[in-house]
Amino acid sequence: MNLPVDWLLSGPAYVQYRTRLDLLGECENSPAVRSARQDMLADSRVQDIIQELAGWPGPPINSHKSANQFFHKLNFLVDLGVTAEDAGMAEIVEKVMATPSNTGPFALRMNISTSHGGSGEDAWAWALCDAPLILYALTQLGMGAHPRVQKALAFLSSLVRENGWGCEVSPELENFRGPGRKLDPCPFGNLAMLKALSLTRTGQESASAAKGVETILNLWEHRQERHPYLFYMGTDFCKLKAPLIWYDLLHVLDVLSRYPAARRDARFNDLLAVLQSQQDQNGGFTAGSIYTAYQHWDFGQKKAPSPWITFLAWRIFQRTGENQSILP
């Protein structure tokens, strides 16, 4: 199956920009790439997110799954290719970096109800389902070598167990823990940590990452009987969805495809086959589920192929060396 290059290059500017860089290997300074990037930054939807994130950290978190959470939106911006040098971003980076906890991870405002083990009051805290994603974004924004980022990453990496990362939170959240057994691994926490570690060769080759990769692949292998913290890998998991926010097929494959050891594993190929089965005759992919917060983007509908989801899928194929052609 051939990648529909002409279709992608006639799509939204953010799709054009990432396609030229990541799939076609064009230089960042080429006229076509620079033009696409300028158009991407001029997109009112991108600017709206930047302006919204100027109010970091935003409302207190009571659901990490919500697509409206500021840390998810920051991750989406860096995935599009927004940098710290772009207008308004330096101020956002400064605000994100301003709230390190004593142990290292950057804190957000949270409000966990008493029925879920929290205090019911606002607290500055972190959890494994947000802290690694903040580090991922900061590293993509050029802050990866900063001592505060390094301290946070080292601390979170040290929390790994033989079966990956569990449900870890800062002391400020008191007795809060997700709905699962204490010794179970947290699927999304492992995915978030692998995403943060994937940005450097050292992280990719670390013993901690190896445990996280095995944890997720093992959960896929035993998906019929194992659902720790109520994370299932069934029908809904396999629906294609963007942006890459929660625990689903596209997000898991995007992260695991960054790890050479994962790409060589038969269980990864099983996951990949599920993605390939959703490709249409023109090489495109259509969303199977949407976030209503992004209903005005190309991936915010389920009736037609999405250029952005198609790009994400083909980037995974390219990383894995799948025998598919990219033609002009």
pLDDT in tens, 32-49: 999 999 999 999 999 999
What's the mean pLDDT in 151-172? 95
Residues 5 and 310 sit within 8 Å (Cβ to Cβ): no
- Per-residue confidence band for 325, with pLDDT thresholds at 50, 70 and 90: very low
Query: Three-state DSSP class for 130?
Result: coil
Higher model confidence: residue 180 or residue 32?
Answer: 32
Distance CA(17)–CA(22), nearest Å, equals 9
3 or 113, which is more confident? 3
**Class of the CATH domain delimited by 57-327:** mainly alpha
116 pLDDT band (50/70/90 cuts)? low
pLDDT of 327:
33
Reported as a pLDDT band with limits 50, 70 and 90, residue 184 is very high
Mean pLDDT of 56-61: 94
Measured between alpha carbons, how far is residue 269 from residues 42, 261, 276, 310 in Å?
A: 38, 12, 10, 18
> For residue 172, what pLDDT is reported?
84
Q: pTM score, two decimals? A: 0.95
Assigned token pair, 79:
């995935």
- 85-108 average pLDDT score: 97
* Confidence label for 323 from pLDDT (cuts 50, 70 and 90): very low
Percent of the chain with pLDDT over 90: 88
C-alpha to C-alpha distance for 131 and 118, rounded to whole angstroms: 18
Dihedral of CA atoms 60, 82, 21, 36 in degrees, nearest 10, equals 120
Q: Please give the average per-residue pLDDT across 113-124, as a whole number.
A: 70
Q: How many CB atoms lie within 10 A of CB 161?
A: 12
How far apart, in whole angstroms, are the C-alpha atoms of residue 178 and residue 324? 41
- How many Å apart are CA 158 and CA 164, to the nearest integer? 11
> Residue 77 has which token pair?
């911006």
For residue range 244-303, what is the model confidence (pLDDT) as tens digits? 999 999 999 999 999 999 999 999 999 999 999 999 999 999 999 999 999 999 999 999
Q: Which segment of 61-70, 107-116, 220-229, 292-301 scores lowest on mean pLDDT?
A: 107-116
Q: How many CB atoms lie within 10 A of CB 98?
A: 12
Mean pLDDT, range 98-117, rounded to an integer: 85
